């Protein structure tokens, strides 16, 4: 299935944000990105559902996965996928040195029930106790779910809900989106051969954007354009960036 088909059919996306290089500062940046996309989603009238989250004790996030549902979610967010880099002085830095940290963003179209069919016999499902920041258990029942897709080795988890069934449904949604992404990449490779222009999907390891706090500047490296007022953008005012990128990156 082509990207254009996804754009026309997908009414929901699954967003995955993971802290990268930089330790706790990277986790704090991942949380900043989570807040940015959450506020942007609200401004678009989209609904949000948290699927999985692994917070840190200092207010950061090691990983967060959530679903956004509404008109044009894939069309507007598809080019947000990639490595985001932040340059700033951490609050814990006493010497005033600028640190560089990263977080990765994945944008996956949520498949319909007819697009991806998962066989029960292909799944290994484990239940465990959900844990909070620092690893402490947040409840005494085994409500968190870990699903292993045996044919591909993909492992997904969910611990945001208070019962096994809802966490299992969340985990299956994440798994289905990842399996659909595999199929999408395969189709792209078959159509495009060795072409490497699928920015934000096949080239997720590429650094796409830098958030430079000392200079109050956000630069998108793909289109070589910058914007100012980082705080406003991280509060969800993403429209200028998304409109410009979607215009220049087809």
Neighbour count for residue 75 (Cβ, 10 Å) = 17
Residue with the larger pLDDT of the pair 114 and 237: 237
Distant-in-sequence, close-in-space partners of 15: CB < 8 Å, separation ≥ 6: 37, 65, 66, 67, 68, 77, 105, 106, 107, 108
Are 121 and 135 spatial neighbours (Cβ–Cβ below 8 Å)? no
Mean pLDDT confidence for 5-17: 71
Q: Which of 27-36, 51-60, 113-122, 199-208 has the highest mean pLDDT?
A: 27-36
Q: Measured in whole angstroms, how far is the alpha carbon of residue 83 from the centre of its chain? A: 10
Query: Taking 90 as the threshold, does the pLDDT of residue 26 lie above it?
Result: yes
pLDDT at 203: 35
pLDDT above 90 covers a percentage of the chain that reads 56
**Model pLDDT for residues 169-216, shown as the tens digit of each residue:** 999 999 999 998 888 777 766 655 433 433 333 333 468 999 999 999
pLDDT at 1: 42
**Model pLDDT for residues 105-123, shown as the tens digit of each residue:** 999 888 877 677 888 999 9
Residue with the larger pLDDT of the pair 70 and 130: 70
The H or E element spanning position 139 is: none
Pick left, alpha or beta for residue 235 (phi over 0 → left; psi -120 to 50 → alpha; otherwise beta).
alpha
Mean pLDDT confidence for 111-136: 79
β-strands 82-88, 207-212: how paired?
parallel
Residue 160 C-beta-side C-alpha neighbours within 13 Å: 18
Q: Go through the domains of the chain in sequence order and give each one's CATH number.
A: 3-244 (3.30.70.1660)
């Amino acid at each position: 299935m082509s990207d254009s088909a996804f754009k026309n059919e997908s009414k929901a996306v699954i967003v995955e944000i993971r802290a990268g290089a930089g330790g706790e500062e990277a986790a704090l940046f991942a949380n900043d990105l989570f807040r940015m996309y959450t506020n942007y989603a609200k401004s678009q009238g989209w609904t949000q559902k948290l699927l999985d989250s692994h917070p840190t004790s200092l207010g950061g996030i090691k990983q967060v996965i959530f679903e956004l549902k509404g008109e044009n979610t894939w069309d507007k967010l598809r080019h947000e996928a990639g490595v985001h880099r932040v340059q700033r002085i951490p609050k814990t830095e006493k010497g005033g040195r600028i640190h560089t940290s990263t977080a990765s963003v994945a944008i996956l179209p949520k498949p319909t029930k007819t697009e991806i069919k998962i066989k029960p016999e292909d799944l290994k499902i484990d239940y465990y106790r959900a844990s909070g920041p620092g690893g402490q258990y947040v409840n005494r029942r085994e409500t968190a779910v870990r699903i292993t897709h045996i044919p591909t080795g993909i492992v997904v988890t969910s611990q945001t809900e208070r019962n096994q069934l809802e966490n299992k449904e969340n985990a299956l949604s994440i798994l289905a989106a990842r399996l659909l992404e595999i199929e999408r990449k395969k189709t792209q490779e078959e159509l495009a051969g060795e072409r490497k222009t699928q920015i934000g999907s096949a080239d997720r390891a590429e650094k796409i954007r830098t958030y430079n706090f000392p200079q109050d500047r956000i630069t998108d490296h793909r289109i070589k354009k910058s914007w100012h007022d980082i705080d406003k953008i991280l509060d969800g005012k993403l429209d200028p960036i998304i409109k410009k990128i979607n215009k220049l990156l087809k």
